[in-house]
Structure 1
Amino acid sequence: MLNYLENTKIKQKMSDFIQHAVRQNDLQKLLLEFTDIKNEFPFGQLAYQHYEAFGGQDEQAITKLAAGVELLILSADILDDIEDQDNDSYPWMNVNQGVAVNAATYLYTVSIQFITSICENNSQLIEKLFHFIKMSMEGQHEDLSHLYGTEEECVEVLRKKSGSLTALSSVLGVYLATRKMNATVESYSIYYGVAEQISNDFFALFSKTNGDFQKKQTLAFSYLQRHFNDVSLELLSFFSNRLDESEQKPFQLKQKLLEAGLTQYMVSMREIMLLKMKQGIAQLDLPKTKKEQLYAYMTKEGND
């Protein structure tokens, strides 16, 4: 499991690569500012966990891969925030947006260069890397364009947009260790990504600064739109800002979500995804202890 020291190594590797790859001083300074705010590396950790589980032992190589994956994810996060006009506290939301888009595109490009430099004769890696990137971008397009409405369609967008990026991290970690693509790892990692996004979307309901519920056809929004009860209508009104914020305190919102059945629904959907993930992990050709460690890490059991 990645400890503080190993996280520090990933962050340092990200900074080192930017300083080496980016020759334009102002752009380099801006990208270092963007990366400096990162202190958690869940996608790099996911690559590391799978690399270790499948017998990888080259710490330098996996640290490099983890850093490259995190740079790629950061570029996607920056573009996502700009497209949604969300998360004003981040530095890329407080500079000229054209400059931020160009910096994110540059970061996207050099992160791919960084990742593909790790393995020799890596045509499989490159093909799979772009497969996941394109899938995520398709999901983002559907998200931004509201090309879905039902709960099933929402889950499919989560599978593409979020599941593809978790799969990218896991699959590349396994590839670095074994030089083979693993379809089982890809499948259950997508379920894991959907489960994590469902959690994020639920907790975002309590955030005053997150506007995704109003801007997007989220899974929670699709559920409430089915109008199972009067409380669903109250919540739709609340999230559309038609009720004065003082009329709904946080603890009342929690109660309303329970009364509407939304909390139970989101928890159940997440548990379904985690069950499918667990079934996938069970199919791996690995020692039982390794499979248990992967499951414990991905469900946060025993994590610090």
Structure 2
Amino acid sequence: MTDVTNRIIGEINTILGKEIQQENLKETIQKYINAQTKKGFPFAKLTILHYQMLDGTELDKVISVAAAIELLILSFDILDDIEDDDDNQKLWMNEQSFALNASTAMIFICIDVIRKTDLKYKERAISILLEYSLLSISGQQIDLLSKCRTEKEYIEMALKKSGSLVSLACLVGANLASDQYLEIINRYSQFIGLIGQLNNDIYDLQNWEGKNDLLNKKLSLPVIYLLGYQGNGAEIISSYYNGAIEKDEMVKNQKFISKMIVDSGVLVYTEIIKRVYQNKVKTELQKLNVDKKFIGQLLDYIH
């Protein structure tokens, strides 16, 4: 575990100790944080990265803000899972009342932590947090409506839902240091969020042991492609989504469907779309006049 990760964990523990007095609520949030630790706190690290990239000089204070951002993102993850109801392997899905209360607490903790700092531009940070949280919530609403039927509609939704949260983390860090490059940062951070969503889509299409977008009738980008596919066996997907066959039939035909997914070209298609946005990120990063080590760290987010 890296030193930065350890510092973020330590700061989260400090925040919870100060902000939450009810012991069971504190333990519940800590349990959820522990479950997320394997992800390595990428949003907090993006906040720190952008603060340092723009020559911020009060890193200790910003680590507290970054830890608070990670709590906010976890609250969104919990709400997203409960709203979608498609991943019962997550521990908060088995205690949804507690999870909803914990997620509400984490949202207000994040705002309160930033408000209590003496950082010069904290009001800008809070404004960004509120604006981009609402954009993400709007994207989630579009996703829940299951009305994205084209590549364009899906990408627009994902840029709002996933891209806005990455923008939030990056722009909070950047704004606490400077007002430079904000439009560029906003663009490439949204693309990074979209790339992350496409990676999830590819995984969730092929994961038959847990969350599976096909079985849950989700309209991910690969599924939209498959619903328009005319090749051998494609009708099983449209029949399931139209209610003509049941989930048991899909599970029974897992091997056939897995082969059809490969044969359809959907995985190649999704990778090509991902590559388009990887190149867009690289184009935007070339416009930054910053230390190259930060560019390298940002490129790690687009694999």
TM range (shorter): 0.7 to 0.9
Match of 2:227 in 1: 225
CA contact (8 A) 1:27 1:103 kept: yes
Match of 1:127 in 2: 127
Q: Give 1:207 shift.
A: 1.6
Q: Give 1:295 shift.
A: 4.1
Q: How does 1:254-269 map to 2 (within 5 A)?
A: 255-269=259-273
Q: How far, CA to CA, are the matches of 2:298 and 2:180 in structure 1?
A: 21
- Runs (4+) of structure 1 exceeding 6 A deviation are none
Q: How far, CA to CA, are the matches of 1:253 and 1:5 in structure 2?
A: 44
Aligned length: 294
Q: Give 1:203 shift.
A: 0.8
Structure 2 regions of 5+ residues with no counterpart? none
Match of 2:104 in 1: 105
Q: Give 1:117 shift.
A: 3.3
Q: How does 1:199-218 map to 2 (within 5 A)?
A: 199-208=199-208, 209-213=210-214, 214-218=216-220
Q: 1:230 to 1:111 in 2, by over 3 A?
A: same
Q: How far, CA to CA, are the matches of 1:120 and 1:78 in structure 2?
A: 32
Q: How far, CA to CA, are the matches of 2:213 and 2:229 in structure 1?
A: 20
Q: Give 1:149 shift.
A: 1.9
Q: Give 1:285 shift.
A: 2.8
Aligned partner of residue 38 in structure 1, secondary structure: helix
- Give the letter for the 1:6 counterpart: V
Q: How far, CA to CA, are the matches of 1:130 and 1:159 in structure 2?
A: 17
Q: Give 1:262 shift.
A: 0.2
Q: 1:72 to 1:100 in 2, by over 3 A?
A: same
Q: 1:202 to 1:238 in 2, by over 3 A?
A: farther
* Deviation string, structure 1 residues 110-143 (Cα, Å, up to 9, x no partner): 1122234343353322222111000000011111
Q: 1:102 to 1:261 in 2, by over 3 A?
A: same
Match of 1:281 in 2: 285
Corresponding position: 1:298 with 2:292: no
Match of 1:147 in 2: 147
Q: TM-score, normalised by structure 1?
A: 0.87
Q: Give 1:49 shift.
A: 2.1
Could you tell me the percent identity over the aligned residues? 27
Corresponding position: 1:248 with 2:248: no
Q: TM-score, normalised by structure 2?
A: 0.88
Aligned partner of residue 234 in structure 2, secondary structure: helix
Match of 2:171 in 1: 171
Q: Give 1:69 shift.
A: 1.0
- Give the letter for the 1:111 counterpart: C
CA contact (8 A) 2:68 2:110 kept: yes
CA contact (8 A) 1:50 1:294 kept: no
Match of 1:22 in 2: 20
Q: How far, CA to CA, are the matches of 1:135 and 1:231 in structure 2?
A: 38
Q: Give 1:105 shift.
A: 1.0
Q: 1:207 to 1:222 in 2, by over 3 A?
A: same
Q: How far, CA to CA, are the matches of 1:75 and 1:226 in structure 2?
A: 35
Q: How far, CA to CA, are the matches of 2:222 and 2:252 in structure 1?
A: 22
Q: How far, CA to CA, are the matches of 2:238 and 2:228 in structure 1?
A: 11
Q: How far, CA to CA, are the matches of 1:272 and 1:61 in structure 2?
A: 37
CA contact (8 A) 1:282 1:291 kept: no
Q: Give 1:261 shift.
A: 1.4
- Give the letter for the 1:267 counterpart: E
CA contact (8 A) 2:171 2:186 kept: yes
Q: How far, CA to CA, are the matches of 2:207 and 2:290 in structure 1?
A: 40
Q: 1:242 to 1:38 in 2, by over 3 A?
A: closer
Aligned partner of residue 86 in structure 1, secondary structure: coil
Q: How far, CA to CA, are the matches of 2:121 and 2:48 in structure 1?
A: 21
Query: RMSD over aligned Cα, in angstroms?
Result: 2.3
- Give the letter for the 1:8 counterpart: N
Q: Give 1:151 shift.
A: 1.7
CA contact (8 A) 1:223 1:262 kept: yes
Q: How far, CA to CA, are the matches of 1:174 and 1:297 in structure 2?
A: 18
Match of 1:12 in 2: 10
Q: How far, CA to CA, are the matches of 1:257 and 1:83 in structure 2?
A: 27
CA contact (8 A) 2:120 2:176 kept: no
